[in-house]
A and B are shown apart, each in its own frame.
Chain A
């Protein structure tokens, strides 16, 4: 699907931040391909609200890195048009909540152009944005909206959970000939992880086992992965070995990897930060029970956000999104260890 560059196995790695990994991906792809350019609110001089585009204006100049007016529908649409005309724009939407202002261009234009033209048109566009709760940003700046994009055929959806995936997936997304919704998480920008020194590109649709285990499969993405890994550590102390599966992209979804793990552990917990109703977790659960019903030893547990707008109050915000303890309780229910 994506031209994949092998990951240098023995290459030296260093520890960098999620936002630095994204910055490296943008920089490398801009050096590699002159048709890559960036548009977004406050991305140039300011370097982006989360510092992802720091230094790119001075390196690549004001033609390729430019601030846009607050006109989401049109600057996203301009990305669609530039892509159709042969460029590879990376458009940043400050918060995924603001993507709602551009949904015609995303869902009716970008997602459908290739299809509507009988496969002849290409929308080589990446829309980078960030979502999730975490800092008391309240109802219009904290949502997890991956299900909206997951629902629309024609869009790819990436949900990287650490610096390694963030870099490798962003590079893959930029090189892909289809529109990609690249969903970062505001709580991840300042987290760190090992990233190889040399170049690598990941494959969209290839999930990753983040921790091996034999008693239960926990499926999580984005900011929920670290929370599930922490829960898995605590559960290991109680004799429950959890396998943590990070699909890394929701579209395409690495169902094979998920099913292999499910068939091994026979107990499943799916964890999503987004609200429960109409979420991706529900769909993954449906697909698992359709494909691996005979292997399941317990009902699939879903741990999800409450069906509510995110409150401003920090304690209440915390109550709305899955916490480590809830994951632990769900795993125990799934393996009948309560």
Chain B
């Protein structure tokens, strides 16, 4: 199976997995140092989903993201410098320091934005799909959402709209099994979330969210379906957070054996192993990691040295409101 993929491609996937992991660990440290304020929802443990999904997309495709959105941004090709700068609230950030962790968007690069509202990005993604259909282009939109969002009304509405209008949209449920701290089993009688697709006439399947190649393949297939006007598609990736809901949540409610299990199938480690098995020598992997570390270090230094927007500059913006 692995021979189907050239090692350059596998290295690409691993570089993204590793970069997301390092981004989160670096930034969590910046948070603990008091340099990042507000909410910070780490993507640790879920890296394979954004990485695999975005690897299947074309540059013109769209994504919408969630409050746990750093991984999606990076996988969609965001630059680390303005990302870290945004988390530090600097004027050189993606949103000039006005958005922060939960609002990074890069419309030109096809990222229609993270979202501070659970489910908020879901109808927006449907709208992007609608735009593609009206223009007659073959763009696909991947809507990343959480198991928390599937119990919000807009999920049902949006799945129905996308199905009714046959939109080229992939609803990608990242089932990390907790809505903040509420386990999925306490939030719905049917925790196999992909099964909701059938009720709307939408093809749906489940995928191992900790296996980057499995995710890539499912999204690739779903994209083809969408480009052939057979969308939408609902995908559910089972995964698990490596910690609490946000940096200050120790996640005491997460059973240790379950956490241990999911750590044992760590998506970043698996990506690395796959790369080794495909024949990439250890020293080349180490070099790849060193380059990613360096890029991250550079981004942190860039952000730290960046100015903040002045109050006068801000007031000039406020004038327009």
Question: Which residues from chain A sit less than 8 Å from chain B, CB to CB?
Answer: 37, 63-64, 66, 68-69, 71, 73-87, 89, 104-105, 108-109, 113, 115-121, 153-154
B98 with A71: CB separation less than 8 A? no
A85 with B126: CB separation less than 8 A? no
CB distance from B50 to the nearest CB of A (A): 19
Known A84-B127, A85-B62, A85-B128: A118·B157 in contact at CB below 8 Å: no
Known A105-B123, A109-B120: A87·B131 in contact at CB below 8 Å: yes
| Per-residue A-contact encoding for B120-137, CB less than 8 Å = 1, 0 else | 101111111111111100
Whole-angstrom CA separation of A109 from B157 in the bound complex: 17
A77 with B95: CB separation less than 8 A? no
Known A80-B124, A81-B126, A85-B131: A119·B96 in contact at CB below 8 Å: yes
Kindly list chain B residues whose C-beta atoms are within 8 Å of the C-beta of A37.
134
Other than the given A81-B130, A104-B154, A113-B113, 7 more pairs (CB < 8 A) read: A37-B134, A68-B161, A76-B123, A77-B123, A108-B120, A109-B120, A154-B321
Which residues of B90-145 have CB atoms within 8 Å of chain A's CB atoms? 93-99, 103, 105-108, 112-113, 115-117, 120, 122-135
> B29 near A: Cβ within 8 Å?
no
8 contacts between A and B (CB under 8 A): A37-B134, A63-B133, A80-B127, A82-B127, A84-B113, A105-B120, A116-B95, A117-B98
Query: Which B residue sits closest to A91, measured CB to CB?
Result: B127
Kindly list chain A residues whose C-beta atoms are within 8 Å of the C-beta of B128.
81-82, 84-85
B113 with A117: CB separation less than 8 A? yes
Query: Which A residue sits closest to B153, measured CB to CB?
Result: A73
Q: Looking at the complex, which one of B97, B105, B135 makes contact with A121 (CB distance below 8 Å)?
A: B105
CB distance from A235 to the nearest CB of B (A): 37
A81 with B157: CB separation less than 8 A? no
Whole-angstrom CA separation of A73 from B160 in the bound complex: 12
Please list the 10 inter-chain residue pairs (A to B) with the smallest Cβ-Cβ separation, ordered nearest first. Answer: A81-B127, A77-B123, A118-B96, A74-B157, A81-B124, A71-B157, A78-B127, A85-B131, A82-B127, A118-B95
Q: Looking at the complex, which one of A79, A109, A117 makes contact with B107 (CB distance below 8 Å)?
A: A117
Kindly list chain B residues whose C-beta atoms are within 8 Å of the C-beta of A109.
115, 117, 120, 124
B127 with A83: CB separation less than 8 A? yes
CB distance from A295 to the nearest CB of B (A): 25
Kindly list chain B residues whose C-beta atoms are within 8 Å of the C-beta of A64.
134
Kindly list chain A residues whose C-beta atoms are within 8 Å of the C-beta of B134.
37, 63-64, 82, 87
Kindly list chain A residues whose C-beta atoms are within 8 Å of the C-beta of B220.
none
Known A64-B134, A73-B153, A81-B64: A116·B105 in contact at CB below 8 Å: yes
CB distance from B241 to the nearest CB of A (A): 24
Whole-angstrom CA separation of A64 from B103 in the bound complex: 30
B126 with A74: CB separation less than 8 A? yes
Kindly list chain A residues whose C-beta atoms are within 8 Å of the C-beta of B131.
81-82, 85-87
Whole-angstrom CA separation of A77 from B96 in the bound complex: 25
Kindly list chain B residues whose C-beta atoms are within 8 Å of the C-beta of A117.
94-95, 98-99, 103, 105, 107, 113
B158 with A74: CB separation less than 8 A? yes
Which residues of B56-78 have CB atoms within 8 Å of chain A's CB atoms? 62, 64
| Per-residue A-contact encoding for B148-167, CB less than 8 Å = 1, 0 else | 00000110011011001100
> B252 near A: Cβ within 8 Å?
no
A120 with B107: CB separation less than 8 A? yes
Whole-angstrom CA separation of A177 from B122 in the bound complex: 22
CB distance from A304 to the nearest CB of B (A): 25
